[in-house]
Structure 1
């Protein structure tokens, strides 16, 4: 059976499974549509959270960006995993105890203000739409190779699949679909990693293989990779090259952005009790760790395999030739990815050899970082069924998170905007119809924007995390842990954080209509050494400071709101033994 047919069968089977689950778990009420009826088992919710959490950025893009960025990009691992712990410990149980369907609903009730709820809706939509662009980018990359269609066609196919099961099933259908998607993506990620670790080091555990000796050199894997990169003029893989300030702010931005992501927070509304919310948070961390402990090994080993593909004997003088690429069966993967436009050659000196070096003027290979994980099994000449499985896993990761984000967007529009503000008397049937229409529109917008993303999938997602960090996270933290922050402070803080971060991103990326945008690239930060992906931490600080001063300059929140905050944080019956 040829590879294309195998890909089609495996990917088609997983899609049929997802749609079948959505039909079986179709939402019949708003409670099921928004929160799966709050009846999901903690372990299943942990798996669904893991799938929701491990997006295209985690599965498809993270290993690629680490493979090319080395130590500096380890901030993705530290920020995302640390942020999840922050979310599980500081926010999830309290928000579940509050008992609302959406994040804007909590903010609106806590800050006793329809305006605060509306600002939260705006912040949620901006962050979620930015995030979903990264998922659609990943979908396009995966489809373009494994179904041999254009990246644009891949986006349209992915959007149609998400529409089928997300619009039909709501949160109930999405939850059970995400359980299946987690199983697919974790198997798809770990099996090729085990194969490649065995090939390069003889160690079947990739996380341990990363610190084992390479069979080819007898030296540790990371030392071997550093030597290869040095020979080609690239910077060391294991040394820090980014500034400490930017790396710190980037890690913080990812952490607090993680804790402010509405589509992850809403997962904790789907379990029966607060104790179940804590339990599912713990299970989700276990399921997430399975992939995140493997990703650094996938990144380093993929870079080694990539280099040895073009320099089979390890020296520049014996580089791969263009004729080798056209004639060798073992290099089918190069030709296949070349067709997608995500890998390209330019024989600048006309010698017929492929020069892959750090010097931009001499380098003749261009490779999109988002293809590394997907191409890894092909580079290592693994069996066809493994390649097909990775295709299905990458699509599962992208589609699961896209569905969760679209659910958050549609809930904000139908529940918080339409029912909460425009038409409070809307019937449950019409509210569900509005939610499904909103989700359909959101899918269309995300697909359109995904055609021209602002960066690699992981970079685009990092921008979304920064926006969530600057706008939503501070409002949630102050709403839970401070009785003094009032409605005026919350609104002013969210707007200040959101606007300042958006302005910095737009200026830094050169998206304004200005004559010279080159100086605003990521390579040349505008403020100190802070890049656009790191500014979310500064935006969050601005949010906190503005909210604090505005709240203290205006009246205190009503007594019943202060008692509400106390009730969220303090367990029922606390102090009964002492009479306090």
Structure 2
């Protein structure tokens, strides 16, 4: 990277950091109510914006467009699942949990199921979900920092951990809320501005969503048609193919898993405890969906156009792909390739020593054999291409102005930091409020509880950073695992707690454990214990998956196990006390406020 670009990057990112930390100091908390739920005084529009930032993580900003770029049509499961889950949350959970009036999800479960044990099990589920989720965020922070600082991913991740620590520990929910509003503005501006520039460059249309279905600038050929043909010429499936990326079964299960997982995410649910009135909880969910839709309707266009730009860089003549001069020479690599190569996230190897970069689907045996026999290719020479760099590298690939490149870097960091802060708050509140105060030391002072919350948050940062060095997949894939765990453990229990008054504590506890254990066992079988692949029992591919179900799509099966065990155990044990059943009835009754 030229020195001027790095200076601009550091300046823009530094200014956003100063803004975030300034807000956190300005809104620093002095009570547990402000630390956990911002004093329940956040406007629903502001809370909707903060919720959007809380939920649109590094997976949304950095990784989702990369997944769509590589998966094509089937990558739409992430769009449908993550956005559809907000509809479920708005209709089925947010207003009822806000009416119940507790600080945390485990606190609701503990009181609703009249059991300290249920509260502890809910804390365990929350910690497993949140730590898995925050791994993806730390990876996103590491990638963004390695990009800006021009250092390996490990150094970037450690740098990001330090900033997250400074940013998250001070403000609590009050500070995090106002900081997330600022981060949403940075994030959405950073995502849409480059998309508009690139859409104009490729299609002549300033609206990316329309440009995706439009024609190439100065041509009658549609962008997706040209993209399909280029990929087929390189031995890949068509970009728009419905049978690429993943099976339809996995696409369906992943969509449902992400939907119910979204509705069961504890760090998002807790945001609806921060508004003044019950009706504001539903309004917040509606505004959040609107703010999220701005980015999510843009992501498919970013994915397709990023793929087009990458191919345009590597392939100089699409009509003569088999010819040597049609491909980029190693010595002509643009600066962005050399810089990303230094991070270890992009790599090349001249396997046939012709001085050119041949990128194609070497896994397609028939095509690879033909390429070797007719063109002298000996394997794809783009040896490393991390999907998570697509969005961050896209402005550089397209040759956009330096300030736009810096803005995207700031947006990626904002996305990762905003969600990491929400997750860390959920983790710290579960430990300090639900375990320490709720179970082990009910007489702890408010000052002692705040100290415990901050210490647990710091410990969570260290653990997430360590696991982020060796994640089980790309950022969006790691997040999908967390959503599956939420779908299998907390969502069914929350639904039963609100809508089935005869569900007792024995059923709830057994169901949560069943859903969590079944899903964790399946994930660890293929991903490895604590996500270390060398500890996996079976290879992580479709030939070994149970009924062909991807670990990221297994949350639905875990949810069904949770429900089945809950109902069976509830039927053979005593029903809940009458006052608990009356409480459930009262929570479901609308109330003007």
TM-score, length basis structure 1: 0.96
Q: CA deviation at 1:149?
A: 2.2
Q: CA deviation at 1:96?
A: 0.4
CA–CA distance in 2 between the matches of 1:424 and 1:346?
Answer: 61
Q: CA deviation at 1:522?
A: 3.4
CA–CA distance in 2 between the matches of 1:29 and 1:57?
Answer: 32
Structure 1 SS opposite 2:359:
coil
Give deviations 1:79-109, integer Å, cap 9, x for gaps: 0000111111110110000000000000000
**Counterpart among 35, 48, 53 of residue 33 in structure 1:** 35
Asked if residue 530 in structure 1 is aligned to residue 536 in structure 2, the reply is no
Q: CA deviation at 1:437?
A: 0.7
8 Å contact 2:427–2:460 — kept in the other structure? yes
Which residue of structure 2 lines up, in the alignment, with residue 362 of structure 1? 379
Q: CA deviation at 1:290?
A: 0.3
Which residue of structure 1 lines up, in the alignment, with residue 192 of structure 2? 190
8 Å contact 1:7–1:147 — kept in the other structure? no
8 Å contact 2:525–2:537 — kept in the other structure? no
CA–CA distance in 2 between the matches of 1:470 and 1:304?
Answer: 38
Q: How much is the aligned-residue C-alpha RMSD, in angstroms?
A: 1.6
Q: How does 1:257-336 map to 2 (within 5 A)?
A: 257-314=261-318, 315-316=320-321, 317=323, 318-325=326-333, 331-336=334-339
- Worse-superposed segment, 375-384 or 503-512: 503-512
Q: How does 1:167-246 map to 2 (within 5 A)?
A: 167-215=169-217, 217-241=219-243, 242-246=246-250
Asked if residue 553 in structure 1 is aligned to residue 555 in structure 2, the reply is no
CA–CA distance in 2 between the matches of 1:506 and 1:565?
Answer: 36
Which residue of structure 1 lines up, in the alignment, with residue 123 of structure 2? 121
Taking a change above 3 Å as real, the CA distance of residues 20 and 517 of structure 1, as seen in their structure-2 partners, is: closer
**Counterpart among 18, 21, 24 of residue 19 in structure 1:** 21
CA–CA distance in 2 between the matches of 1:292 and 1:212?
Answer: 19
Structure 1 SS opposite 2:347:
strand
Q: CA deviation at 1:509?
A: 2.1
Which residue of structure 2 lines up, in the alignment, with residue 347 of structure 1? 350
CA–CA distance in 2 between the matches of 1:107 and 1:229?
Answer: 50
CA–CA distance in 1 between the matches of 2:533 and 2:24?
Answer: 47
Which residue of structure 2 lines up, in the alignment, with residue 337 of structure 1? 340
8 Å contact 1:119–1:494 — kept in the other structure? yes
- Worse-superposed segment, 357-366 or 339-348: 357-366
Asked if residue 567 in structure 1 is aligned to residue 586 in structure 2, the reply is yes
**Counterpart among 232, 244, 248 of residue 252 in structure 2:** 248
Q: CA deviation at 1:538?
A: 0.2
Which residue of structure 2 lines up, in the alignment, with residue 578 of structure 1? none
Asked if residue 459 in structure 1 is aligned to residue 461 in structure 2, the reply is no
CA–CA distance in 1 between the matches of 2:533 and 2:341?
Answer: 34
Asked if residue 433 in structure 1 is aligned to residue 451 in structure 2, the reply is yes
CA–CA distance in 1 between the matches of 2:291 and 2:338?
Answer: 35
Q: CA deviation at 1:163?
A: 1.4
Which residue of structure 1 lines up, in the alignment, with residue 82 of structure 2? 80
Taking a change above 3 Å as real, the CA distance of residues 573 and 272 of structure 1, as seen in their structure-2 partners, is: closer
8 Å contact 1:23–1:165 — kept in the other structure? no
- Worse-superposed segment, 19-28 or 238-247: 238-247
8 Å contact 1:508–1:531 — kept in the other structure? no
8 Å contact 2:528–2:534 — kept in the other structure? no
Which residue of structure 2 lines up, in the alignment, with residue 387 of structure 1? 405
Which residue of structure 1 lines up, in the alignment, with residue 155 of structure 2? 153
Which residue of structure 1 lines up, in the alignment, with residue 369 of structure 2? none
- Worse-superposed segment, 487-496 or 80-89: 80-89
- Worse-superposed segment, 412-421 or 247-256: 247-256
Which residue of structure 2 lines up, in the alignment, with residue 54 of structure 1? 56
Taking a change above 3 Å as real, the CA distance of residues 81 and 514 of structure 1, as seen in their structure-2 partners, is: closer
8 Å contact 1:253–1:535 — kept in the other structure? yes
Structure 1 SS opposite 2:213:
coil
Gapped regions of structure 1 (runs ≥ 5): 326-330, 575-580
CA–CA distance in 2 between the matches of 1:277 and 1:514?
Answer: 41
Taking a change above 3 Å as real, the CA distance of residues 264 and 516 of structure 1, as seen in their structure-2 partners, is: closer
Asked if residue 420 in structure 1 is aligned to residue 438 in structure 2, the reply is yes
Q: CA deviation at 1:396?
A: 0.1
8 Å contact 2:526–2:537 — kept in the other structure? no
Q: CA deviation at 1:243?
A: 2.2
8 Å contact 1:484–1:552 — kept in the other structure? no
CA–CA distance in 2 between the matches of 1:333 and 1:244?
Answer: 36
Q: CA deviation at 1:125?
A: 0.2
CA–CA distance in 2 between the matches of 1:500 and 1:558?
Answer: 30
Which residue of structure 2 lines up, in the alignment, with residue 396 of structure 1? 414
Structure 1 SS opposite 2:548:
coil
